[in-house]
Copies of this chain bind each other. A is one copy, B any other.
Amino acid sequence: MFEKNMKIAYLLDFYGDALDDHIGSVMRAYYNDDLSLAEIAADEGISRQGVRHLIKKGEEQLFFFEEKFGLAKRHGELTQACKLLSEIADTLEAKPDCEKEAAQISDIIGIILKGNQDVSESD
């Protein structure tokens, strides 16, 4: 009935900072630190039902953000694009007279990954 959805933990990486402080703290305790509802309730000084309510609210906010901004989906697409670019750079490096293009592609991968790195570090 109230199962942990691991997609939520993933969305939390992208949108956790934008949640209300109280909701964010409960969500991280539940999804990242794997505390039980009872443990979180004790820490926060609220009822288990209150914790359940905040988690539900947090989940709704995360799904709302992903629907509007699609950062998680985008992250996957860009990671895939960088993987493909990296393979092309390798191929070019082995060809005569293509080292410059291979190096330029590597630089561009750097630009694309820069905005992806915060989350990919915790992948």
Residues of chain B with a CB closer than 8 A to A68's CB: 15, 17-18
Contact B112 A81 (CB under 8 A): yes
Task: Say yes or no: B17 contacts A81, CB within 8 Å.
Answer: no
Please, how many residues of chain A have a CB less than 8 angstroms from a CB on the other chain? 31
Q: How many copies does the complex hold?
A: 2
Contact with B along A74-90 (1 / 0, CB 8 A): 10011011001100100
Closest partner residue, chain B, to A92 (CB atom):
B101
From A25-33, A39-47, A103-111, the one touching the partner chain is: A103-111
A33-69 contact mask (Cβ, 8 Å, vs B): 1 or 0? 0000000000000000000000000000000110011
A107 closest partner in B (C-beta): B84
